[in-house]
Amino acid sequence: MDAFEAIKATFFQECDELLADLEAKLMLLEQGQTDLETINAVFRAVHSVKGGAGAFGLEALVRFAHVFETLMDELRAGRKPCDAITIKTLLRASDVLADHIQAAQGLIPPVEEARSAALVAEMQVLTHGGEAPVEVEEDEDDFGFTPMAFDMALDEPAPLPIADLGADLGADAPSVGWRIVFKPMGRMYVNANETSLLLRELGRLGPVTVVVDDSETPTLDALSIDDGCLTWTVDLAAAVDEAAVREVFDFVESDCDLTITPLGAGGDELAAFEDEPAAVLPASDDLDIAALLAKASGAAAEPPADVVPFAPLEPEPAPILAVPVVEPVSAPVAAPVAATPAPASAPVAPAPVTIRVDLDRVDRLINVVGELVIQQAMLSQRVLESGLARSSGIALGLEDLELLTREIQDSVMAIRAQPVKSVFQRMPRLVREVADMVSKQVRLVTAGEDTEVDKTVVERLAEPITHMLRNAIDHGLETPEERVAAGKPAEGTVRLAALHRSGRIVIEISDDGRGINRERVKKIAVDKGLIAADAPLTDEQIDNLIFAPGFSTAAVVSDISGRGVGMDVVKRSIQALGGRISISSVPGKGSTFTLSLPLTLAVLDGMVVTAAEQTLIAPLPAIVESLTPQAVDLHFVGGVDPVIRFRDRFLPLIDVALIMGFRERPMNPTEGVAVVVETEGGQQAALLFDAIQGQRQVVIKSLETNYQQVEGVAAATILGDGRVALILDVDVLVTDMRRKSVRPDFKLAS
């Protein structure tokens, strides 16, 4: 990929972030948060997309973004109310803007001209009122400057004639305004910013006078794009606050030297120049050029009569030239980027420095660190087997290596950790589209957007969450008429939440709809031959029938549902991530779908245990306590199912080796070790093992990818001695595998 394509790829990555922020802020507007900062944030996002698209010649995207931006400019200036109709139009415009960006990337066909033009006309009507105005091509390069010719001969510079600004303007000089002095650095231009654009934006705030100091300009053979050699002084004669001035430099403040100071009264400062020739203004730090401009802003500058020669090889301080910038009023011009800056007295925190790294490189780094963890465990195992004392130099060095390896592992995993916000922000648009398709009123509520999880998990969450939200809106929520008849608000609520629990991430999708009609679900399952008509099923088993392949409760096939493809795909996707899905439904009240997934697909803190000579790993976050069972604390329910007393209550005792088929008969609990675990749902049980070997961080290897899915096993890992150990799925062991009821063939001591 060449440099241009690399920069273009970076632009599209930034577009994804800008679209996510745009979507979030538009949802705030829809919820009634129509404050200026929210409107400014929407404007900034569209403005940034337009600016970058213009640099790459994406004309269709630029044209659409320009109309979008103009409407937002009307809103933030208070000339247009941010009403419900406007917000609805903005939401649809954001969808079209996203499609234009995807089309520019070649991901989808170009946006239909009729679709784009219709929305453009609608936004223009909202902007100007009445009929949509005829679009006038705006000359982005006309900033009010007069062209100048240069003679490349190395002569002394001649003064640049300007308009006669008159004399004795002190009585009419403004008493308010700002002097802005900024010196662009080379990187400002590398980032596709232009000084002329900044000057134009300042001109929109009020009358300005611009002075450029080119005394640091080197000779042509020494000129470099990386050097900032021009210093611009702008006097702004306008009663605006400093925040309005600073927001013009919002995107470039870190790429230039910038000072902003209030202007003086200006009357006395002009007296010294009453006898000077009007055609040339000498450089002066004390000259109030804004006062002069206030009197002469209506006079157009005469074109230069002479040719201005180029600077000599050894430049002397050049005169600073005053050039009025007159903002054209015939065509709309983009407003300055709005932001809410920090108060002038408060220090501005520097922006965090970030870099963009290809994901494949991070994946390779994680794989290498995983192998490092395995090798470190193998070295420790070899030293232990060699009989070296724990106080020996080698043993102590290995302990230090283990700590460093753990720190590297944690740091690398932190690089991959991402908040689920990137997935959640895509869903409001989906909810709006589906709600419109089924003619329902739906409000999406999100929580826990900052919950972090491995990037691989985040990326693969989008599809199952999409299916479940569509299912909740189409099947779960009633129509507005049905909700009102049932005593509910006409608008239904769908809640999407994320949280950490027991070392895993839990995603909950809930609705306040009708709940699962279990009689209908069972009847459909019988009609489709999924179950027998006389099959005795619990409510939980009936609810889980909706995950069966080919199952659908939709009476009519539509674009949303009815083909029997969806919830079974969700279950397979979640299981592929080492997760599980459960349902809780109350008829008439609604349903909650809970997705439980590992925080990372790379590493795990676990307890190494043995069961019938098999080495297993129990996830450490699920372990509450370990103890040696005593005969007095053991009992058998019905003479079969063992339970153990734990802190004044009884917990089921599960012989792991027995239920996993490692041995045929149960072991005597008093000869083993009980590990008390807790599931994600809060259910506790005691797992019985032969012994505990110790705690260890292990690298997760997918068992399903390399072999097949095994019930009760979440994944596998490689131990220090090179053997493969299975990582237990505690929830499955506790909830699904307590089914082997074998009468004990041993007697407990009395």
- How buried is residue 664: exposed, middle or buried, by Cβ count under 10 Å (0-12/13-18/19+)? exposed
Same-domain status, 425 and 412: no
Is the distance from CB of 62 to CB of 9 less than 8 angstroms?
Answer: no
Rounded Cα distance, 620 and 628, in Å? 18
Distances (CA, A) of 530 to 102, 157, 181, 518, 736: 42, 92, 76, 15, 21
Listed residue (220, 230, 215, 138) closest to 181, CA to CA: 230
pLDDT band for position 155 (cuts 50, 70, 90): very low
For residue 442, is it within any domain? Answer: yes
Same-domain status, 47 and 181: no
Residue 269 pLDDT > 50: no
Q: If you average pLDDT over each of 59-73, 260-274, 679-693, which comes out highest?
A: 59-73
Strand-pairing partners, residue 608, are: 617, 694
Listed residue (22, 28, 34, 124) closest to 78, CA to CA: 34
Same-domain status, 180 and 80: no
* Parallel, antiparallel or unpaired: strands 231-236 and 208-213: antiparallel
| Separation of CA 394 from chain center | 46
For the sheet with 614-619, list strands across it: 691-699, 603-611, 614-619, 724-728, 713-718
Q: Would you say the C-alpha torsion 276, 281, 285, 291 has a positive or negative sign?
A: positive
Residue 495 pLDDT > 90: yes
Residue-level pLDDT at 264: 64
Distances (CA, A) of 374 to 383, 581, 607: 14, 31, 16
Residue 279 pLDDT > 70: no
Provide the H-helix boundaries in 321-448: 359-386, 393-416, 421-424, 427-438
What is this structure's pTM?
Answer: 0.55
Rounded Cα distance, 580 and 597, in Å? 7
The helix or strand, by DSSP H or E, that contains position 194, with its residue range, turns out to be none
Is the distance from CB of 210 to CB of 323 less than 8 angstroms?
Answer: yes
Q: Which two tokens stand for residue 364?
A: 């390779």
Rounded Cα distance, 290 and 210, in Å? 9
Q: pLDDT tens digit string along 512-524?
A: 999 988 888 888 8
For residue 311, is it within any domain? Answer: yes
For residue 337, is it within any domain? Answer: no
What angle do the packed helices 427-438 and 462-471 form, to 10 degrees? 30
Listed residue (94, 100, 93, 96) closest to 126, CA to CA: 93
Same-domain status, 403 and 446: no
Q: pLDDT tens digit string along 604-650?
A: 788 999 998 899 999 888 888 889 998 888 888 877 788 999 888 89
Q: How many domains does the chain have?
A: 5
Listed residue (98, 89, 6, 81) closest to 46, CA to CA: 98
For residue 619, is it within any domain? Answer: yes
Range of the domain at 70: 3-128
Give the domain-ending residue among 371, 397, 418: 418
Rounded average pLDDT over 344-353: 50
| Separation of CA 445 from chain center | 17
Residue-level pLDDT at 689: 93
Residue-level pLDDT at 479: 92
Rounded Cα distance, 208 and 566, in Å? 61
For residue 333, is it within any domain? Answer: no
Same-domain status, 414 and 425: no
Is the distance from CB of 636 to CB of 643 less than 8 angstroms?
Answer: yes
**Contact residues for 90 (Cβ-Cβ < 8 A; gap 6+):** 26, 29, 42, 68, 71, 72
Is the distance from CB of 91 to CB of 31 less than 8 angstroms?
Answer: no
Rounded Cα distance, 555 and 73, in Å? 47
* Parallel, antiparallel or unpaired: strands 650-655 and 684-689: parallel
Same-domain status, 301 and 379: no
* Residue located via tokens 């180029």: 310
For residue 141, is it within any domain? Answer: no
Same-domain status, 71 and 119: yes
Dihedral angle, C-alpha 222, 227, 230, 235, nearest 10 °: 180
For residue 137, is it within any domain? Answer: no
Residue-level pLDDT at 484: 93
**Contact residues for 583 (Cβ-Cβ < 8 A; gap 6+):** 516, 540, 543, 544, 546, 591, 592, 593, 594
Q: If you average pLDDT over each of 127-141, 234-248, 546-560, which comes out highest?
A: 234-248
The amino acid sitting at 284 is S
Q: pLDDT tens digit string along 537-555?
A: 888 888 888 888 777 665 5
Same-domain status, 428 and 566: yes
Same-domain status, 458 and 555: yes
For residue 134, is it within any domain? Answer: no
Q: pLDDT tens digit string along 388-413?
A: 776 778 878 888 888 888 788 778 77
What are residue 671's phi and psi, to 5 degrees?
Answer: -100, 0
Distances (CA, A) of 488 to 346, 360, 366, 470, 593: 49, 50, 50, 21, 21
Listed residue (728, 646, 640) closest to 685, CA to CA: 646
**Contact residues for 277 (Cβ-Cβ < 8 A; gap 6+):** none
Q: Which two tokens stand for residue 20?
A: 């996510």
Residue 59 pLDDT > 70: yes
Same-domain status, 425 and 574: yes
Rounded Cα distance, 386 and 380, in Å? 10
Give the domain-ending residue among 379, 394, 418: 418
Rounded Cα distance, 244 and 259, in Å? 14
Same-domain status, 640 and 584: no
Residue-level pLDDT at 224: 67
Q: pLDDT tens digit string along 367-389?
A: 788 788 878 878 887 887 787 77
Query: Which of 275-289, 450-464, 602-616 is predicted with the least confidence, judged by mean pLDDT?
Result: 275-289
Listed residue (406, 395, 399) closest to 373, CA to CA: 406
Same-domain status, 316 and 278: yes
Rounded Cα distance, 431 and 592, in Å? 17
Give the domain-ending residue among 572, 598, 624: 598
pLDDT band for position 192 (cuts 50, 70, 90): low
Rounded Cα distance, 552 and 653, in Å? 39
Q: Which two tokens stand for residue 59?
A: 């004309």
Query: Length of the chain, please?
Result: 750
What angle do the packed helices 3-30 and 84-105 form, to 10 degrees? 160
